[in-house]
Amino acid sequence: MPTEQTVYDQLCDHARRTALLGSIESLLGWDERCLMPDAAGPYRAEQMTLLAGMIHDRQTEPRLGEWLAELAGGALARDPSSETGATIRHLRRQYEKKIKLPKSLVEELTRTSVLGQQAWQHARPNDDFKGFAPLLEKTIRLKREQAEALGYAETRYDALLDDFEPGELTSNVARVLGGLRDELVPLVAEILAGGRKPDVAVLGRGYPVAAQEAFGRAVASQIGFDFGRGRLDVTAHPFCSAMGPHDCRITTRYDERFFNSAFFGTLHEAGHGIYEQGLPADWFGLPLGEAVSMGIHESQSRLWENFVGRSLPFWRHFYPAAQRAFPLALGNVPLDDFYFAVNDVRASLIRVEADEATYNLHILIRFELEQELIADRLQVADLPAAWNEKYQSYLGIKPPSDADGVLQDIHWSAGLFGYFATYSLGNLYAAQFFAQAGSDLGGAAGSLESGLPQQFARGEFAPLRAWLLDKIHRQGQRYTAAKLVRNVTGRPLEHAPLIAHLRGKFGPLYGLA
Amino acid sequence: MPTEQTVYDQLCDHARRTALLGSIESLLGWDERCLMPDAAGPYRAEQMTLLAGMIHDRQTEPRLGEWLAELAGGALARDPSSETGATIRHLRRQYEKKIKLPKSLVEELTRTSVLGQQAWQHARPNDDFKGFAPLLEKTIRLKREQAEALGYAETRYDALLDDFEPGELTSNVARVLGGLRDELVPLVAEILAGGRKPDVAVLGRGYPVAAQEAFGRAVASQIGFDFGRGRLDVTAHPFCSAMGPHDCRITTRYDERFFNSAFFGTLHEAGHGIYEQGLPADWFGLPLGEAVSMGIHESQSRLWENFVGRSLPFWRHFYPAAQRAFPLALGNVPLDDFYFAVNDVRASLIRVEADEATYNLHILIRFELEQELIADRLQVADLPAAWNEKYQSYLGIKPPSDADGVLQDIHWSAGLFGYFATYSLGNLYAAQFFAQAGSDLGGAAGSLESGLPQQFARGEFAPLRAWLLDKIHRQGQRYTAAKLVRNVTGRPLEHAPLIAHLRGKFGPLYGLA
């Protein structure tokens, strides 16, 4: 009879081999979005469907259930935060979810996701929601089917949310985001009503692509993205993807007439990438080598993009280099004006280009709409109108086209329902982590030489990175998101740190009371 | 009981799904050589090993043997050149080969191939044959094991050659290449002894990479490579790879100080790509959608690179565009001087940059050495000395380093033994096909307006491409290489057309008798 350890080792070997297949799927997805010729789309969908089916077969093999049953209640499973305990806990959780899904549904979801993204890529530039609608309808039908197969505690949407924020409930997310909204809406109103406005025209001057790429690479590298174990490429809808323990690829897009798009996008994806690169490589393919949740992942990208990258000390360090990189655009622009411009707050149409304050309103709109879609209370045909209404009511603006409205995000085309909420959770986690890092590393309360802002102003990002590595990255999935936040900050997730951060930054800039 | 047709359909579906996995392996290999961060190498080897094992499992499933047995002697298998007959014949041949190979050997060959290529990529720039030798020894040991497992008619090398030139025997290749050598050596001596030499310095003037890329793309597109179904990327050792029926990727490398490297390399790979893109897409993954052999594949690349791309009519059309693309390098160079320069014949070190005449001597050296290695009559430790001796005896030169000697090619590092001979076979096939195309399309014997040279001079390559598509590409593997050559040209493979082509071109250029 095999020992407990032998069974555990078999379980881990099996998961690692499944992850090998998953990493291949990641490469195919990355290639599809960055490089693949359009004409190859249908065959790529078949390749990915085949892999998804094979992965599902492996994830639902009966011997997994047998191994997990043997390990249940044993010494290795006892402490859920030990290496073995966390591994068994996650693998059991995954197995129990996967066996509820028929393989045919998994394959159909994959195929529809790939074809959906391809359809979206054509629909958006052509402002063709109608042409895209049938695939979206099919996707939503399949997602409902998925949720029903998986089961849920309160609402069907819970089952989908769980894929991205494990163990989280829709009602709890709604509660936290509701609390945020209640303070955010008046804050945004206060900012927009004030008399001050930055001159954002400087961000729309000519920024040559080659200079943007060189500058973005240099900064990403300096904050800690390791190009020896990664790449930066161009795509329409930027993302970060790891296809191995030493192969993390980030993407961006360049707009000669808008500095923010590529630069803050690169910082954002580099933040995701630094997390991926900080996960323990030896554990790749096992829970301790994987990110906790999409919300925690997003906290890392937001932290580098906004809390670091949109801070004054950051630009005290990098602005001279930026002026050298873009002499025609920035040569005669004072640092303070530039800093104000990259912190422009305004009601705008495009989520990924929204400022830190209004961003969460974009998320709330999507979070609410997708709950309606999954609950079958909103039909796809009525979605553009519902979208436009929400933008009117939350941000006071109306999209002039679906391309800049309901078609702007890739997520729904890819079957990513339940994902958007994690963006706002990420902002909340980021604020709470960053406040703690500031305190641990001698920030606001520290000496002028040793605080985080002083470090940033000197171009030193290694201490913050080391803190994140230690507290978050190298933990993998040892703890749940809720437990991790408590461990690191001593408090449950709350919206106060984000509001404090926004007030602290925008108060002086916009002259708020 | 299933009908013959049902069994045949199952067999084809099975092969198509196996090909899906193979196409994924192709993407991983392409990515590894073009884009992957170095640090990701070991994990990539594991990914590819896993796929190779899975593919092998599928290719050796007992039900394949049962299906093939049911089909043997039936109506669908009767005519070996019919769609069904050719399909069954190839799938049976493949099955019978694959079941002779243990899966462990297939996996070890794959892993060693990927790691071998990675080791080679480091060894070559460091001129470090010693560091590379252990992996090469292992590769050769595995290839011998493979050959012994497969069995062979005359010599162990036959079994390896068969992977690239199905059904061909080493003795026959040696006979054909021997015949070629006997006429080629005096021809090369005659050329080298003559007084005329082109001024090749013009090819070493500055050729900016961006202009090279734009010019290369434009020409590849004009001769018929479809960028809507393919890509052109940069790599250290150029190749062409298809990872789907509409996804064929060619690669090249740019040298600012040598025009030929990227330009003729791009034409060469585009020739491979045009063949891949001409294979019937509906048959992708089945024998009728695959290339006949590496020799036939190489005939297509050589044909476009040399017979078309190094001809005077081709440059009559493209030279003005080349002068516009490279005004500093070519602005004051007359067409005839440029044409002579790209047809420089000389004893040189690097195979891929060798001229049409001496190229086959580079191949003979490798063909002879690898037979010795596989037969265990030559040890890896003695390989560099043996290499250098052969270069002395065939070309009268001695490599100054292993980097420009025995380490110059990626093939052996990737386990490609039995491959080199197909390059010379490709030259022979190309000459024979091109002569036939010239005759069919009103070439030498045709009117001045309608012959191939006149078409090239007008920038018309569609007629030649259509001829190749009809005669060769769209046939897939319906015929063996030997039968295809007979079908298309009415004669067996012979070396006379290549010698005639070389005499016809170099005679006037070098003022031969």
- Residue B171 CA, distance from chain mean position: 21
Phi, psi torsion values for B231, nearest 5 degrees: -140, 165
CA–CA gap between residue A455 and residue A440 (Å, rounded): 13
Sheet containing B230-234: order of strands = B230-234, B248-252, B240-242
Among residues A46, A45, A59, the alpha carbon closest in space to that of B13 is found at: A46
CA–CA gap between residue B296 and residue B436 (Å, rounded): 15
Q: Is the ipTM of this complex over 0.85?
A: yes
* Site of tokens 């959906």: A116
**What pLDDT, in 10s, does the model give residues A172-192?**
999 999 999 999 999 999 999
Give the one of A39, A50, A247 whose C-beta lies nearest to B43's C-beta.
A247
Average pLDDT of the residues in A466-475? 98
**What pLDDT, in 10s, does the model give residues A309-322?**
999 999 999 999 99
CA–CA gap between residue B383 and residue A183 (Å, rounded): 76
Q: How far is A487 from chain B (nearest CA, A)?
A: 33
- Contact state of B229 with A40 under an 8 Å Cβ cutoff: yes
CA–CA gap between residue A263 and residue A254 (Å, rounded): 8
CA–CA gap between residue B451 and residue B457 (Å, rounded): 10
Which chain A residues have a beta carbon less than 8 Å from that of B38?
228
Q: What is the pLDDT of residue B448?
A: 55
Residue A217 near chain B (CB below 8 Å): no
- Contact state of A231 with B35 under an 8 Å Cβ cutoff: yes
Strand partners, A234: A252
C-alpha distances in angstroms, B192 versus A118, B178, B396? 57, 21, 11
Contact present, B418 and B164 (Cβ < 8 Å): yes
Helices and strands (DSSP H and E) totals, chain B: 21, 3
CA–CA gap between residue B244 and residue A418 (Å, rounded): 33
Contacts of A42 (CB under 8 A, 6+ apart): A115
Q: What is the pLDDT of residue A448?
A: 55
Average pLDDT of the residues in A18-37? 96
Residue B460 has which token pair?
């018309």
Q: Is residue A199 pLDDT above 90, yes or no?
A: yes
Residue B366 has which token pair?
């490798």
**Claim: this prediction has a pTM higher than 0.80:** yes
**What pLDDT, in 10s, does the model give residues A426-462?**
999 999 999 999 999 975 544 556 799 999 999 999 9
Residue A209 near chain B (CB below 8 Å): no
Helix axes A421-440, A462-471, angle to 10 degrees: 110
- Where b means 16+ CB within 10 Å and e means fewer, A220-231 reads bebbbbbeebbb
Contact present, B53 and B103 (Cβ < 8 Å): yes
Q: What is the pLDDT of residue B431?
A: 98
Which chain B residues have a beta carbon less than 8 Å from that of A23?
43, 47
Strand partners, A250: A232, A240
Angle at CA of residue A222, ends A221 and A227, nearest 5°: 15
Contact present, B224 and B465 (Cβ < 8 Å): yes
β A240-242/B230-234 pair status: unpaired
Kindly identify which residue of chain A lies nearest to residue B30, measuring between CA atoms.
Answer: A31
Q: Which of residues 49-78 of A touch B (CB under 8 A)?
A: 50-51, 54
Neighbours of B17 (CB within 10 A): 14
C-alpha distances in angstroms, A428 versus A345, A435, A441, B441? 18, 11, 20, 72
CB-neighbour burial class of residue B204 (10 A; exposed 0-12, middle 13-18, buried 19+): middle
Q: DSSP label at B168?
A: -
Contact present, B173 and B489 (Cβ < 8 Å): no
- Contact state of A27 with B28 under an 8 Å Cβ cutoff: yes
CA–CA gap between residue A482 and residue B220 (Å, rounded): 57
C-alpha distances in angstroms, A130 versus A377, A402, A407? 20, 10, 11
Which chain A residues have a beta carbon less than 8 Å from that of B44?
244, 247
Phi, psi torsion values for B16, nearest 5 degrees: -65, -40
CB-neighbour burial class of residue B332 (10 A; exposed 0-12, middle 13-18, buried 19+): exposed
CA–CA gap between residue A490 and residue A433 (Å, rounded): 10
Mutate to test the interface with B, among A16, A31, A241 (most CBs of B within 10 A): A31
CA–CA gap between residue A448 and residue A463 (Å, rounded): 15
Mutate to test the interface with B, among A14, A16, A18, A23 (most CBs of B within 10 A): A23
- Contact state of A230 with B37 under an 8 Å Cβ cutoff: yes
Contact present, A425 and A176 (Cβ < 8 Å): yes
Contact present, B242 and B297 (Cβ < 8 Å): no
Q: What is the pLDDT of residue A450?
A: 75
Q: What is the pLDDT of residue B2?
A: 81
- Contact state of A50 with B21 under an 8 Å Cβ cutoff: yes
Kindly identify which residue of chain B lies nearest to residue A41, measuring between CA atoms.
Answer: B246
The kind and range of the H/E element at A250 are strand A248-252
Residue A133 near chain B (CB below 8 Å): no
Low-confidence ranges of chain B (pLDDT < 50): 445-446
**DSSP line for B171-227:** HHHHHHHHHHHHHHHHHHHHHHHSS----GGGGGS---HHHHHHHHHHHHHHHT--G
**Is A269 one of the catalytic residues?**
yes
Q: Is residue A232 pLDDT above 50, yes or no?
A: yes
Q: What is the pLDDT of residue B253?
A: 95
